[in-house]
Structure 1
Amino acid sequence: MDQATETFMAHRNLLFTVAYEMLSSASDAEDVLQETWLRWADIDQETVRDARAFLVRITTRQALTRLRTLRRRKESYVGPWLPEPLLTAPDVAEDVELADSVSMAMLLVLETLTPTERAVFVLRDVFDLTYDEIAQAVEKTTTAVRQTAHRARTHVAARRPREAVSPTQSRDALAAFQQAVETGDLQRLLDMIAPDVVLLTDGGGVVRAALEPVIGAEPVLNVLSKLTSTTLQPAQINGHPALILRTTDKIDTVLALRLEGDLITHLYAIRNPEKLSHLAHKTSVAR
């Protein structure tokens, strides 16, 4: 490989993760990487002092442009919108901060930020870029970036899960949940879910899904009781244990859980076929 290609490939996983955390879409993140590569290939490599920072800057600007387009698209989306799930390697869960940053719960929190707030939060709190580097990436002053980072951090802190759950707790909870669904043990399921549990189903208007959040233990239990005829396969989705639901050897749904303490407070069911295409292979994410 030539120098430009070798440098780009060395940072590719990090750049994909930056784009994915800003867009919550693997397909759009891949498009951003393609745009980043085209711009990078035209640069005189001798003029670049810090290739990592330079590539992150290009990726961030491309992602910001696409993020504003995606926001308009989401306004007309049919039913709840959920992030595009990634099949991740087991070692992602070992990096607690990385796993948290790509989790369904965190990505949905990031959706509530403005595009600039999201970019600043991701670059500062996840990838630990300096304020000066972030200022160049988002084309703001360093002072403005500091203020934006504080505002975004406060916003995220108020909405993220109140207490951390260990990978072991997550695996045990998922195993118990899977067994209860497969055996039809409704009482055990009722004991595992919070009274005000929320189920979001994303069908994108393509496949059947609830058009509004399903709220409350009994309504959610009614939905879960219909999964007994489906094959459930444990998997690492976005750095956390989740279930892949299959029908006739085809992926039908990805079901992710959000735990707080010993109870499941949120269930995320991604059914839109367009969002399940990346599950054919593991996706590498990195900080």
Structure 2
Amino acid sequence: MSAKIKETAQQELDRVRHVAEEGAKSGAYLYPLKGMYFFATHKDLYRPLLSRLAPTLTLGLGVTSFMFLFTYLPQVAVLVFTSGPLAALSTILLVLSESSTLTMVLSKALLIEDALVDTFDGTLVAKGQTALVAKDRQIKSGGASDAIARLGKLMSKPFANFTPSAIVKYFMYLPLNFIPVIGTVAFVVLQGRRYGPAAHARYFQLKGMSTTQREKFVEERQGAYTSFGIVATLLEIVPLAGIFFAFTNTCGAALWAADMEHKAGTAPALREQAKQAE
């Protein structure tokens, strides 16, 4: 039994190491940062964010007030045993982080899903992937410098990335935060593993992938999607700034998709050139 446990543990460690190495080599973790820069330098992408800013901030204020009112004292009572005299400060930071994360989950499910789709599609158009976006929505002519203005009516309903199950899983993982350092790291990694593929749900829809195809595509890039998701999750749990990072992360996911499309289109051309050279 002991040997079997050691073997299973070693296999899991090897799998985690492989995923981590794949994620580091992929460079996917840089796309949330690239998204911040691209979003900041393309003012036309601001409109979806600004259109949902007021209700999202109101939701965030309500969630934060609720969390401090009903969860601060129970959590500080638990953290007294793990953080000692720093329990009060640790609990404040924890509640702020929890409130930010919960606000993001609820706002994506209730308020900003359409705005995030517009941001994703607008970024693709800005990167020259108009043909890809045109597979599922009307694209208006003209206004080349304003990608959002060129977006027309959607032809189908976008995938529901944030369902009640996402909220349930969030609360299932939440107790991990009571474990100092290790528990918080585990919480972020688990959230990141879910976030990565969800960030490309719109891309999978535009590509017309079936559920099986999506699962295979993600499995082949598990490390890349996990590394992207971890960085994106860390950004979105920043109190107050989370709503801004939700849009920049979406922009980053679209930039990653655009690069995938560029590489997919370049590879056949290079093969053709090689054949002609022969």
TM class, shorter-length: under 0.3
**TM-score normalised to the size of structure 1?**
0.25
State the structure with more CA Rg: 2
- The structure whose RCO (Cα within 8 Å, separation 6+) is larger is 2
**TM-score normalised to the size of structure 2?**
0.26
